[in-house]
Every structure is written in C-alpha cells, then in structure tokens.
Amino acid sequence: MSPQDKLGRNLSMLTDFYELTMSNGYLQNGMKDTVAVFDMFFRRIPDGGGFAIFAGLEQLIEYLSNLSFTEEDIGYLRSKNCFCEEFLDYLLHFKFQCDIWAMKEGTPIFPGEPVVVVRGPVIQAQLVETMVLLTINHQSLVATKANRVVRAAQGRSVFEFGSRRAQSYDGAVLGARAAYIGGCDATACVIADRDYGIPAVGTMAHSWVQMFSSEYESFAEYAKLYPDNCTLLVDTYNVLSSGIPNAIKCFNEVLLPMGYRPKGVRIDSGDIAYLSKKARKMLDEAGFDYVNIVASNSLDEYIIRDLLIQGAKIDLFGVGENLITSKSDPVFGGVYKLAAVQKGEEYLPKIKISESIEKITTPGFKMVYRFFSKETTLAVADLVTLHDEAVDASRPVTIFDPIATWKKKTLQNVEAVELLTPIFRGGELVYRSPELSQIRSYCLDQVDHLWDEVKRFEHPHTYYVDLSHKLWSMKNALLEEISSQNTGAPQINEGTSF
C-alpha cells in the first residue's frame, strides 16, 4: 500500500508536470546528482500588513516523508511518452535525499528572506517545488489573516467558522489548522479537532430555531439537551423584542432550575454594535452579566476593529468566509528559486535577473538571523547571510539597506537567533513538530516580540531584512559580471538567468 496523508491520499503525484519533465531532463543530461540549493521566499505581505506568519511545515514534512511512486503512477507517467525508462525506474525506487531547513511554524516572516531552503540532488530538489509552495503558501496565508483578525479582537476570543465557505476539503481542514496557529481559539470544523486537536465548538443554526413552533421552544429544547454548553442564536426573528427575552426566559426557566449557568447568545445579523449594546443591558439587568455575547456575519479584522470602536459589547467573534479564504487578499505569493549549485566544496551562486529590483533574486546558500534587543526583547532586524557565515552579536553589528546602502544601523546589545532550523538531513527527518497548541503559543509570543509599528494595519513600518556584507558583495559582483557580459549586447531581458 502506498503511503497516505491524514485523509488517506497518496499525494506524491501532486506536482506540476514541468517538475517531472525537468527532473527527467536533468537525469538525461547527467546532472541527476548535481547538488542544487533552492529558496522559498515571498515578496509581498497580504493586506499590506507588516509581517506574515509561517505555517504549513508539518504537511510539507508529511508529504516529503511519504514521497514515493507506485506502479500505477509509473504506468501513468509512461503513458505520457516523454519520460525515459531510467527516470521512471528512478521514481519507482525513489528515496528522498535532500537537506531541508525551514522557519518554525508560527514564526513571523518578512519578504525577501528564505523561509524554506532545500539542498540536494537537483532531480529531487526540483521535483518538490510544487508541494513546498502549495503547503506553505496556503497555510501561511490563512495564519497571517487569522492573526490580523485575532489582533483586531484585542484579547477577545475568535472562533473559526469557515469550513462551509472554504475552497474545498483541505481549504477547510488545513485552513482551520492555520487559523489556530494564527491565534484563533477554536474551530467549528469537527475533523480539525479529531485529526489536529483544535478545539471544536458550536452554537446553533437558524434552521434549529425554525424547526420548532416557537423560538422559546427551540431554545428550551436545546438547553435541556446541552445544559452545560448552551449558546442561543437570538436573531432569527427579532433580537431585542424576541431573541433576548426568550433567551432570558429559557435561562431562568430551564437552565438555572437544572443547576447550570447559561453560556451565551449569538447575534448573526443587523447592526451588531447597536444590538450587542442593547442585548448586554438586557442580560445584565436580568442578572446574566456573565453570559457571553457572540457576534458573527461576514466579519473581518476591519469590521471587528470598527465594532469595538463603536463600543460593541462582544465577548467572542465567529469568523468564517473572510478568514478561511483570506478574501481581501487571497494569494500568498511565495516562490521557489534556484540560489546555488554545488561545485566541489564551493557553491556557485545563481541569480535570476529582473527589470524590477525587488524581483532580482539573492543568490547563494543562505541562513537567516533575527536580532532581538536585549533591552526591549523586541525583534529589530533580520539578516540574511551565507549559510556558514558567523554572526557575532557580542559586538556591535552594522547592518545596511541592500538597495539604499547609505541607510545604516548599528545594533548593540542584541541577541542573534538562527531562524532556519534543520528539518531533513540527507532525506532523514531530523525535526519533530511541536504540538499544535505549542505552535500557536509560540506564534502569539513571537508576534508579541514585534514592534507595534510593524503590527499596525495601515502603513506599517517596514521591518529591516538586510543582507550581510559578504552576501551583498557576492550578489553585486554577480550583477556586475552579468552586466559586463552583456555590454554591447541587447539589454538584459527579464527572464535572463545565470
């Protein structure tokens, strides 16, 4: 039987066709065992935010640990009439051999820095591109969005309610996982609880209320069944003249006599600020000041922020479609680029040229450090270095903007933390993913170590991601070399790659 993921699927063939044609080509060109280094990085933070959250590593590990090809897969590939038998045999006996370094899940990440580095035989390092990008792009997108929503809620709980509007199964289940990493407290998605241990929660739908001859009866029957977990949906008919009075009646006549404390009411339409304030007053006056008010209905970080500015009395937010699809900015544009090729003991840097400066890749086999101020404990800058370059933070470290090089900053009294952790060595897994709840706590803690200026929604401060002097010099030398080779020749075209 072929290895499977949590939903019973073998995802080894989830790769773009060109990965296979290139890998087949590398083999036929005698380059099969040439060691290449690829970086995954992203260029733009969704929603104009100041940082993103790295997520999806566990699913990438699962995929890479299970990477193997069945006779059926090989038969299918053979039917395409473009792969040589040697390549098909290579796939049939595939054994993963790459080294991988990655950020830990939950780490705040910034444009331009490698978040995953893959080093290994190019035939393999090429093949895994699609899944590296797919898993990390999706979950980082949702974790980033969730973290925005959670920050807007200012300490109030956020429940992820998005399964029904997610883009398919993995969008729902792994979206719930990513949302939890980003700081959501719970999910409505049952399988996400069963398989990932994300607390599953729920209230009731309008259909439940509509199924009974009266709103009160629907509340009373629900309360009798679930007395210790009773949140009533109060907006099916009229929140203030019907829903809240019936909820109070149900609490008094059903739950209190049973010896239970009611939990909450949910408002899912109308002017949520206005209704929540009125509902709070009514509940308080009836002696239920401890009953939570839950709000839902196409919420996002901006509406939540606005509701709180309006003084809405909401204890808990249920957020679905805008979170699970990251509707306002639904693409996390992480890319996977060749950075170096090993030659003997050396790494030949590889660069991808572009007309736009930001799109020129940073060559070389690299490492990323984050500097934390020992005084404030806040993150002050990231430094991308060559992989084996030592960073001595015991002395002042001068960093500079890699484009506007005159912009310099000297960091003193800082601690340097290596951000890329070894995940695979020679194809062997050397990393154990923490429990999901630990990843979530780590994420929230790391976000606490960012400056408020980086965290604001509008025009956040651009966090420094600089290159070490060695790396910057190497990149510039390469650019000089390329431009001198092109002297007299037509302009360097977009797409020129060395």
Ligand X SMILES: Nc1ncnc2c1ncn2[C@@H]1O[C@H](COP(=O)(O)OP(=O)(O)OP(=O)(O)O)[C@@H](O)[C@H]1O
Ligand Y SMILES: O=P(O)(O)OC[C@H]1O[C@H](OP(=O)(O)OP(=O)(O)O)[C@H](O)[C@@H]1O
Query: Which parts of this chain interact with ligand Y (CB under 6 A)?
Result: 161, 164-165, 205-207, 268, 296-299, 318-322
In the sheet that holds 99-102, the strands lie side by side as 346-349, 335-343, 35-41, 116-121, 99-102, 421-425, 428-429
Residue 6 binding result from ligand NIO, ligand Y, ligand X, none, given CB thresholds of 5 to 8 Å by partner type:
none
Q: Under 8 Å CB-to-CB from 392, ≥6 apart: which residues?
A: none
Out of 161, 216, 424, 472, name the contact with ligand NIO by CB under 6 A.
161
Q: Is the Cβ of residue 45 or residue 303 nearer to ligand X in the bound state?
A: 303
Q: Is the Cβ of residue 297 or residue 421 nearer to ligand Y in the bound state?
A: 297
Which 251-270 residues touch ligand X, going by CB under 6 A?
Answer: 269-270
Sequence letter at residue 406: W
| 372 sits in which H/E element | strand 366-373
Residue 270 binding result from ligand Y, ligand X, ligand NIO, none, given CB thresholds of 5 to 8 Å by partner type:
ligand X
Q: Scanning the structure block, which residue is given the tokens 């290449």?
A: 36
CB atoms within 10 A of CB 23: 25
Measured CA to CA, the distance from residue 384 to residue 466 in angstroms comes to 6
The least distance separating ligand Y from the CB of residue 286, rounded to whole angstroms, comes to 24
Q: Is the Cβ of residue 161 or residue 251 nearer to ligand NIO in the bound state?
A: 161
Measured CA to CA, the distance from residue 327 to residue 232 in angstroms comes to 28
Residue 271 binding result from ligand X, ligand NIO, ligand Y, none, given CB thresholds of 5 to 8 Å by partner type:
ligand X
Site string for ligand X, 20-59 (x = CB under 6 A): ----------------------------------------
The least distance separating ligand NIO from the CB of residue 85, rounded to whole angstroms, comes to 52
Can you say whether the dihedral through the CA atoms of 468, 345, 111, 375 is positive or negative? Answer: negative
Out of 188, 279, 293, 381, name the contact with ligand NIO by CB under 6 A.
188
CB 382 within 8 A of CB 389: no
Residue 202 binding result from ligand X, ligand Y, ligand NIO, none, given CB thresholds of 5 to 8 Å by partner type:
ligand NIO
Written as six digits, the tokens of 107 are 């780490």
Q: Name the one range near ligand X by CB under 6 A: 92-100, 295-303, 357-365, 378-386.
A: 295-303
Residue 165 binding result from ligand NIO, ligand Y, ligand X, none, given CB thresholds of 5 to 8 Å by partner type:
ligand Y
Q: Is the Cβ of residue 110 or residue 161 nearer to ligand Y in the bound state?
A: 161
Measured CA to CA, the distance from residue 418 to residue 396 in angstroms comes to 17
Q: Scanning the structure block, which residue is given the tokens 């640990």?
A: 65
Interface with ligand NIO (CB under 6 A), residue total: 8
Q: Is the Cβ of residue 207 or residue 398 nearer to ligand X in the bound state?
A: 207
Indicate whether 98 belongs to the interface with ligand X (CB under 6 A): no
Q: Which residues of 277-312 are buried (b: 16+ CB within 10 A; e: fewer)?
A: bebbebbeebebeebbbbbbeebbbebbbebbeeeb
| 66 sits in which H/E element | none
Contacting residues toward ligand NIO, per CB under 6 A: 161, 188, 202-203, 266, 296, 318, 320
